[in-house]
Structure 1
Amino acid sequence: MAEGKKKDGGALLAKKKKVKPRKSRDADCCSVNFLKCVLHIFNVVFLFAGIGVLAVGAWTVASRHRYVALLPTPTYAAIAYLLVIAGALGVPLSALGCCGLKTENRTSLLCYTYFLLITFILELGAGGLAYYYEVAVEDELKAELNNTFLSNYALDTTITNAVDRMQAEFKCCGAVRFEDWRRSAWHEHDPRMLVPDSCCKTVTIRCGARDHPSNIHYTGCIRYFINHIRDHLIILAAVGVGMSVIPIFGFLFACVLYAKIKHVID
């Protein structure tokens, strides 16, 4: 009987040793209360960062997309919309994080970490894509822009408006040179017009019928356009890659808090 009691006592002692004691929420250097405080501060930073990313993306869509119809691929537009989506996640995600921290609900915290990871991927993807496209856009435009001018002007309203706006803003004429307009479908339709009116130094109706240097701009638009797009892509790349660092910190702290909440006592 004594031996049986000893065995039972030993088994109970072994079980007690295996059970990990639950810790106080202020135990260890990275306590639950400390992590909650850090994540509350992070939520404020993340909210303002999201508003900034959203503002850059919306500004790109609203004011810098006037020439997007002239680009051969939709990459530039995709970068802007990725930033808009990533920035728009800032407000609801900050609210979700605050609710999860207040209630210490592990499901809310888990969703919060997943969406932080998605935000990181969106911002890093937009920044990386902008960096890649900044290098590739010059060759792309050199290969396609002149053909876009000559084949679609006056046939596609969106492209026509973009070309006229570009020639007026950059004070240029034609993609490469002003003489290219004589090979366009638009010129064949009205041979008396040598260049579009938007090429003129002073724009008036049918002023493009005379291509004297005193009347029109002789410089092609392609170099101005390439520099314009590349400069803005550098901004988008910096915003995307730079801001993608922020959600990573929140993701790591939220993961640690998620694991710690399970093992603490009130």
Structure 2
Amino acid sequence: MAKEIKDGSALITKKKIRPRKSRDADCCSVNFLKCVLHIFNVIFLVAGVGVFLVGAWTIATRHRFVPLLPTPTYPAISYLLCIAGALGIPLCGLGCCGLKTENRTSLLCYSYFLLITFILEAGAGGLAYYYEVAVEYELGAQLNQTFITNYALDTVVTDAVDAMQLEFKCCGASKYVDWRKSAWHEHDPRLLVPDSCCRTVTPRCGMRDHPSNIYYHGCVHQFTNHIREHLIILAAVGVGMSVIPIFGFLFSCVLYVKIKHVID
């Protein structure tokens, strides 16, 4: 009788005290997930640097044409990519600290910021894809108006127009005669086109509009193609890189749950 009572007590005790899982109990163990996340952090850091460099390169080399665009969508895409890329270094630091200490709060913050990075990159990529279609219509409708209204009256626009005409070897939005309607031409009718339209730029070379002296074709098609090609690059970088933080988010969420059920 005493033996039966003792065996019953042991059985009750065994039922109440359930052993917690080992750190290597299954294929998705804590140690395995920590190793995967360490590798992910390296990949995420490299990808973040790449995204940041693409955004910074766009701002440094392509933003001289931003005053000619009717909406701020193009620069917004570049800044979103820069912000998403810049999050890479602090996020990797937070992730490594969370993995080393197995602090669930740090892992939770890490997961949230990975989700934010995904939203920024995917948003920038999606916006670039959308604007790549819309920019042709917008420029076709408003670029000529920007030329004839603001040239020589707005220094930023004037510099952007001159830079575009020099780079793409063109003159005017649609064609060189567009300049005859501009406020700039009315101020000095002797100048038929800006000097940046000339094949060989010299002071007041725009007084002669012979095809041997100036470019006759407009800038809108070349400029539109240039912007669209660059938007495709930004879209590919944004959407492509947004896949990476999703994997980190999923692994960190699983690790967050697993840590609660292992032996210290």
Q: Same fold (TM over 0.5)?
A: yes
**Residue number among 185, 194, 197 corresponding to 2:195 in the alignment:** 197
- Cross-structure match for 1:118: 116
Question: 4+ runs of 1 displaced by more than 4 Å?
Answer: 9-20
Q: 1:24 to 1:190 in 2, by over 3 A?
A: same
- Secondary structure in structure 2 of the residue aligned to 1:264: coil
Deviation at 1:19, TM superposition (A): 6.6
Q: 1:191 to 1:15 in 2, by over 3 A?
A: farther
**Residue number among 180, 183, 201 corresponding to 1:182 in the alignment:** 180
Q: Distance in 2 between matches of 1:10 and 1:155?
A: 96
**Residue number among 33, 36, 43 corresponding to 2:31 in the alignment:** 33
Q: 1:262 to 1:226 in 2, by over 3 A?
A: same
- Cross-structure match for 2:125: 127
TM-score by length of 1: 0.94
- Could you tell me which amino acid in structure 1 is paired with residue 60 of structure 2? A
**Residue number among 167, 188, 192 corresponding to 1:169 in the alignment:** 167
Q: Distance in 2 between matches of 1:64 and 1:13?
A: 74
- Could you tell me which amino acid in structure 1 is paired with residue 242 of structure 2? S
TM-score by length of 2: 0.94
Matches within 5 A, 1:232-243: 232-243=230-241
Q: 1:194 to 1:32 in 2, by over 3 A?
A: same
- How many residues align? The count is 259
Unpaired segments ≥5 residues, structure 1: 1-8
Deviation at 1:21, TM superposition (A): 3.5
- Could you tell me which amino acid in structure 1 is paired with residue 147 of structure 2? F
Deviation at 1:64, TM superposition (A): 1.0
- Cross-structure match for 1:3: none
Matches within 5 A, 1:121-160: 121-160=119-158
- Cross-structure match for 1:207: 205
- Cross-structure match for 2:256: 258
Deviations 1:158-195 (A, max 9, x none): 11000001101111000001001000010111111100
Q: 1:144 to 1:25 in 2, by over 3 A?
A: same
- Secondary structure in structure 1 of the residue aligned to 2:191: coil
Matches within 5 A, 1:5-44: 17=15, 21-44=19-42
- Could you tell me which amino acid in structure 2 is paired with residue 91 of structure 1? I
- Could you tell me which amino acid in structure 1 is paired with residue 61 of structure 2? S
- Cross-structure match for 1:56: 54
Q: Distance in 2 between matches of 1:158 and 1:174?
A: 17
Unpaired segments ≥5 residues, structure 2: 1-6
Deviation at 1:124, TM superposition (A): 0.2
Deviations 1:90-134 (A, max 9, x none): 011001100000000001000000000000000000000000000
Deviation at 1:22, TM superposition (A): 1.4
- Could you tell me which amino acid in structure 2 is paired with residue 233 of structure 1? L
1:218 maps to 2:216: yes
Q: Distance in 2 between matches of 1:89 and 1:104?
A: 21
- Secondary structure in structure 2 of the residue aligned to 1:211: coil
Measured on the aligned residues, the alpha-carbon RMSD in Å equals 1.8
Q: Distance in 2 between matches of 1:143 and 1:96?
A: 48
Deviation at 1:263, TM superposition (A): 0.8
- Cross-structure match for 1:109: 107
Q: Distance in 1 between matches of 2:118 and 2:152?
A: 43
Q: 1:64 to 1:18 in 2, by over 3 A?
A: farther
Q: 1:18 to 1:135 in 2, by over 3 A?
A: farther
- Could you tell me which amino acid in structure 2 is paired with residue 211 of structure 1? D
